[in-house]
């Protein structure tokens, strides 16, 4: 589990395609401290498992960490487009006693969204995303959303146009991939789990004729 508070913007050292997966090697710097094989790390919001920890004298911390990305993750996330030299959002997994500054994030990406357009002004960057109805139904004004693993609050929503926006403060601009994304970029989306559960439960009950009849009989 994660909190959606990005801890580092780290450089991809190498991408190595293999049969049915891609191996990603990242310079985690200080975030590699005490990291063990099998640990979970969120990369652009995608929960991946540490598969290798390698000495690498040319990187900042002397260590490169390897991750395997399976076909499903390559298809559902923007990690399939990552190349050497790119920087990605990193968050180590949540520990008991850690402060939860964002919201509970699982690292399970629902889909990617296209950055439709952006607005910039003094100390603010507003990103507008195109979102299909099947995902937009889980999003609400002032609700939580995780974009490239960053916990954010939805600042506006236009269901008719299929758009929603998030407003970034300078700290988020400086510390995450969202500070450099431009129109047309793909960004990973994770839906807030409790909202998704509530919406799907209500939809399932409303689709049950017996339940609807029982509800109407009590009215």
- Asked whether residue 63 falls in the same domain as residue 21, the answer is yes
Contact in structure between 29 and 61 (CB atoms under 8 Å):
yes
> Which domain range does residue 195 map to?
111-201
CATH number, domain at 65?
A: 2.40.30.20
pLDDT averaged over every residue in the chain: 91
Query: Which pLDDT band holds residue 163 (cuts at 50, 70, 90)?
Result: very high
Q: How many whole angstroms separate alpha carbon 32 and alpha carbon 17?
A: 23
Instruction: Give the model's pLDDT for residue 216.
Output: 78
- Asked whether residue 119 falls in the same domain as residue 78, the answer is no
- Asked whether residue 23 falls in the same domain as residue 85, the answer is yes
pLDDT tops 80 at residue 88: yes
Asked whether residue 219 is domain-assigned, the answer is no
Instruction: Give the model's pLDDT for residue 177.
Output: 96
pLDDT, average across residues 191-210: 85
pLDDT, average across residues 33-38: 93
Q: How many whole angstroms separate alpha carbon 154 and alpha carbon 37?
A: 35
Instruction: Give the model's pLDDT for residue 61.
Output: 63
- Asked whether residue 130 falls in the same domain as residue 83, the answer is no
Render pLDDT for 44-81 as a digit per residue (tens, 0 to 9). 999 999 999 987 766 666 789 999 999 999 999 999 99
Choice between 35 and 209, residue whose per-residue pLDDT is larger: 35
Q: How many whole angstroms separate alpha carbon 69 and alpha carbon 78?
A: 11
pLDDT tops 80 at residue 91: yes
Query: Which pLDDT band holds residue 219 (cuts at 50, 70, 90)?
Result: low
pTM of the model: 0.89
Render pLDDT for 108-145 as a digit per residue (tens, 0 to 9). 999 999 999 999 988 889 999 999 999 999 999 999 99
- Asked whether residue 34 falls in the same domain as residue 83, the answer is yes
Asked whether residue 212 is domain-assigned, the answer is no
């Amino acid at each position: 589990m994660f909190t959606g508070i990005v801890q580092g913007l780290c450089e991809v050292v190498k991408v190595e395609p293999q049969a049915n997966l891609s191996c990603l090697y990242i310079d985690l710097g200080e975030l590699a401290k005490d990291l063990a094989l099998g640990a979970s790390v969120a990369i652009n919001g995608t929960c991946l498992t540490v598969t290798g920890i390698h000495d690498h004298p040319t990187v900042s911390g002397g260590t490169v960490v390897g991750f395997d990305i399976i076909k499903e993750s390559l298809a559902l996330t923007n990690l399939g487009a990552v190349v050497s030299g790119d920087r990605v959002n990193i968050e180590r997994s949540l520990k008991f006693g850690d402060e939860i500054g964002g919201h509970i994030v699982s690292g399970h990406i629902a889909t990617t969204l296209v950055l439709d357009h952006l607005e910039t002004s003094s100390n603010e960057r507003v990103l507008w995303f195109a979102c299909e109805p099947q995902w937009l139904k889980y999003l609400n004004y002032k609700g939580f959303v995780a974009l490239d693993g960053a916990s954010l609050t939805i600042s506006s929503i236009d269901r008719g146009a299929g758009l929603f926006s998030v407003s970034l403060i300078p700290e988020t601009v400086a510390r995450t991939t969202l500070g450099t994304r431009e129109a047309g970029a793909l960004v990973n989306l994770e839906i807030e789990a409790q909202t998704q559960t509530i919406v799907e439960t209500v939809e399932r009950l409303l689709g049950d004729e017996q339940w609807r009849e029982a509800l109407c009989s009590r009215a």
